[in-house]
Structure 1
């Protein structure tokens, strides 16, 4: 299992960050420009990753003010789980995005760097969005 993660301190209370992350409609704002054909509801999102694949994700689990877990809504090229965890840090929130992907060696060589870039960009965008 390949595990990719990043985290940031967000200048908002944990309930505000959780509420944002718990709605798939908000996640389009976290996506890089290589994502297109975005479509979402509160519980599900589908999109295309440029030069890669079309993905559909759904929320598998919500634990209020703690975590939001996404899994594929339909057959994906590999098993993947995305988990946002939030925890209170004084008046701020620690937000951590973890991607766990079941990648064979060849897929790992191709996908690990783009997945890390995706995680880094989403965490950075969340931090910037929540500061405005």
Structure 2
């Protein structure tokens, strides 16, 4: 299952935005309002939204200033969340979030809308930085 957000423009340079998203503590600012838990542990963080199970995301890959890939810590659910960053000018950049998950059709049907809403919220909150 592949989901993505529209590209958004942010008033931060590509390097500033890259540094922001590679500091996992900053993801707390991007989380939806219904966040019940958020804890950073080294190169990973765990979060829980109201009515949802806890999810641990691990920093899998950093391509300097261009992209950051977070992935599931559990092998039960295989997915990645990629933040792609493109420079527009010295003080602005374009960002797009892409979610790729390997789910069975029934699970994909159940999680598609909540996941799209989740990554849209992350994107909206990035646009407010």
TM over 0.5, shorter chain: yes
d(CA) in 2 for partners of 1:51 and 1:75? Answer: 22
Residue 69 of structure 1 is matched in structure 2 by: 69
Residue 60 of structure 2 is matched in structure 1 by: 60
The one-character-per-residue Cα deviations of 1:40-62 (angstroms, maximum 9, x if unpaired) are 14521001132222111110111
Query: Quick check: 49-58 or 109-118, which moved more?
Result: 49-58
Residue 26 of structure 1 is matched in structure 2 by: 26
1:89: Cα distance to partner? 1.0
Matched length: 127
Kindly report structure 1 stretches of 4+ aligned residues shifted beyond 3 Å: none
Residue 84 of structure 2 is matched in structure 1 by: 85
Residue 5 of structure 1 is matched in structure 2 by: 4
Residue 113 of structure 1 is matched in structure 2 by: 113
What is the SS of the residue equivalent to 1:32? coil
What is the SS of the residue equivalent to 1:101? strand
Residue 125 of structure 1 is matched in structure 2 by: 125
TM-score by length of 1: 0.89
Change (3 A) 1:30 1:42: farther
Unpaired segments of 5 or more residues in structure 1?
Answer: none
1:75: Cα distance to partner? 4.0
d(CA) in 2 for partners of 1:42 and 1:94? Answer: 27
d(CA) in 2 for partners of 1:103 and 1:74? Answer: 13
The one-character-per-residue Cα deviations of 1:5-26 (angstroms, maximum 9, x if unpaired) are 1121111111111110111110
Contact 1:23 1:43 in 2 (8 A): no
